[in-house]
């Protein structure tokens, strides 16, 4: 593990940043090296749900997946100290476990759902293998992650909430023990636990079932996420038998970071040369988003999430010579803390205790 390297400063050639400051057609080298350790290696590679989250801090476990026919997708995020919660922010962030939630987003023409109900400390149980949040749970069982879902969805302007019930099983195909610091002081960390996985989706409500490719990672921090960053762009793609993850952004102090990691078939990450910036169209909310791709070109397949401060997108591109379907996200922490956005958030993420 180590610190994601700094991005170079821009100059007159907009592509020189990515080409190692050689010449317009040169490729250059990667942006520095990964240095320092960010986590212990003695523990087995897997999620540990009993990890203490300090006051002001956060931790989340993130899963995304795409069906084999690319008709369906999902993301699931288990939060302790929900970084987007207006209730956590208003409380002074003294008790992270009192602001937990399981965010579930199902995508597809049939059965799209959105769930992000916040629960209190009395409804959240942390154990080594299991995280219970209200009636739902994430649990590690025999080298696989099982998510049991019993929730109600949220639709703006519609008072009744539909049931969301089912089970999702993630089977890692590779595991990675290295975690990386996202800032020099080590207040924010990221680890791709299972960069490549298979996923089984069996939902009773809505009535959908599919199998596909998936991904599992985790982030944690000891301060509010907006204290560390202004914005970032992230994407992951299966490239042949490997996985490429692009992570770049701007920290609160104005410094930039950018890194391309390639995970081989064993799950071992190596820093690789950053592909060219591939700008994507602004979202309906005017969110800026981008990814990286060969020749700096990528196209939007579907915008999965479009909010005032966050966008998640399925993208078609070529990366390291291979055609890929990438999952991409962009977030603006400056927008998140805007008072207007904070006023709007409870309508999208209600709190129940």
Residue 248 lies in a domain: yes
Burial of 204 (0-12, 13-18, 19+ CB in 10 A): middle
Report the distance separating Cα 270 and Cα 261, nearest Å: 6
Report the distance separating Cα 327 and Cα 131, nearest Å: 25
Q: In this predicted structure, what is the pLDDT of residue 158? A: 87
Residue 136 lies in a domain: yes
Q: What is the largest CA-CA distance in the chain?
A: 60
Q: In this predicted structure, what is the pLDDT of residue 109? A: 85
Q: Are 307 and 338 in contact (CB under 8 A)?
A: no
Domain of residue 217, CATH code: 2.40.370.10
Q: In this predicted structure, what is the pLDDT of residue 11? A: 34
Q: Are 164 and 180 in contact (CB under 8 A)?
A: no
Q: In this predicted structure, what is the pLDDT of residue 30? A: 35
Residue 215 lies in a domain: yes
Q: In this predicted structure, what is the pLDDT of residue 110? A: 83
Q: How many C-beta neighbours within 10 Å does residue 218 have?
A: 18
- Going by C-alpha positions, the residue among 202, 192, 156, 149 that lies closest to residue 172 is 192
Helices (H), 84-224: 86-91
Residue 257 lies in a domain: yes
- Ramachandran angles phi, psi of 299, nearest 5°: -130, 150
Q: In this predicted structure, what is the pLDDT of residue 6? A: 60
**Measured in Å, how far apart are the chain's first and last C-alpha atoms?**
38
- Ramachandran angles phi, psi of 319, nearest 5°: -135, 125
Residue 278 lies in a domain: yes
Q: What would the pLDDT profile of 22-55 be if each residue is shown by its tens digit?
A: 333 333 333 433 333 454 444 679 999 999 999 9
Give the sign of the dihedral formed by CA 299, CA 301, CA 303, CA 309.
negative
| pLDDT < 70: residue spans in the chain | 1-43
Residue 20 lies in a domain: no
- Show the tokens assigned to 32: 């520095």
Residue 283 lies in a domain: yes
Classify 339 as helix, strand or coil: helix
Q: What's the domain count of the chain?
A: 1
Burial of 21 (0-12, 13-18, 19+ CB in 10 A): middle
Q: In this predicted structure, what is the pLDDT of residue 17? A: 30
Q: What would the pLDDT profile of 161-216 be if each residue is shown by its tens digit?
A: 999 999 999 999 999 999 999 999 999 999 999 999 999 999 999 999 999 999 99
Classify 98 as helix, strand or coil: helix
Residue 19 lies in a domain: no
What domain range includes position 96?
Answer: 58-348
């Amino acid at each position: 593990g180590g610190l994601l390297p700094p991005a170079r400063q821009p100059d007159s050639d907009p592509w020189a940043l990515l080409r190692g400051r050689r010449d317009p057609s040169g490729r250059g080298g990667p942006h520095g090296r990964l240095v320092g350790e960010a986590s212990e290696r003695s523990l087995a590679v897997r999620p540990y749900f009993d990890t203490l989250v300090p006051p002001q801090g956060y931790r989340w476990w993130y899963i995304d997946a795409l069906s084999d026919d690319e008709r369906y997708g999902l993301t699931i995020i288990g939060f302790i100290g929900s970084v987007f919660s207006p209730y956590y922010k208003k409380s002074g962030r003294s008790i992270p476990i009192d602001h937990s939630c399981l965010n579930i987003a199902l995508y597809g023409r049939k059965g799209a759902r959105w769930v992000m109900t916040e629960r209190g400390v009395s409804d959240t149980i942390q154990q080594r293998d299991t995280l219970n949040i209200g009636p739902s749970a994430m649990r590690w069982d025999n080298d696989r992650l099982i998510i049991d879902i019993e929730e109600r969805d949220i639709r703006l302007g519609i008072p009744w909430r539909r049931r969301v019930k089912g089970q999702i099983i993630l089977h890692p195909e590779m595991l990675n023990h290295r975690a990386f610091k996202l800032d020099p002081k080590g207040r924010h960390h990221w680890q791709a636990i299972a960069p490549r996985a298979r996923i089984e989706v069996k939902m009773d409500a809505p009535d959908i079932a599919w199998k596909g490719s998936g991904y599992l990672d985790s982030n944690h921090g000891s301060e509010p996420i907006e204290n560390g960053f202004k914005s970032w762009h992230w994407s992951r793609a299966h490239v042949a038998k490997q996985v490429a993850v692009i992570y770049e952004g701007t920290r609160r102090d104005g410094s930039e970071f950018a890194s391309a990691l390639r995970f081989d078939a064993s799950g071992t990450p190596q820093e690789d040369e950053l592909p060219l910036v591939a700008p994507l169209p602004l979202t309906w909310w005017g969110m800026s988003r981008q990814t990286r791709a060969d020749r700096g070109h990528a196209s939007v397949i579907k915008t999965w999430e479009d909010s005032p401060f966050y966008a998640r997108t399925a993208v078609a591109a070529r990366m390291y010579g291979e055609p890929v379907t990438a999952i991409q996200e962009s977030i603006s922490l400056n927008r998140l803390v805007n008072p207007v956005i904070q006023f709007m958030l409870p309508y999208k993420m209600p709190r129940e205790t």
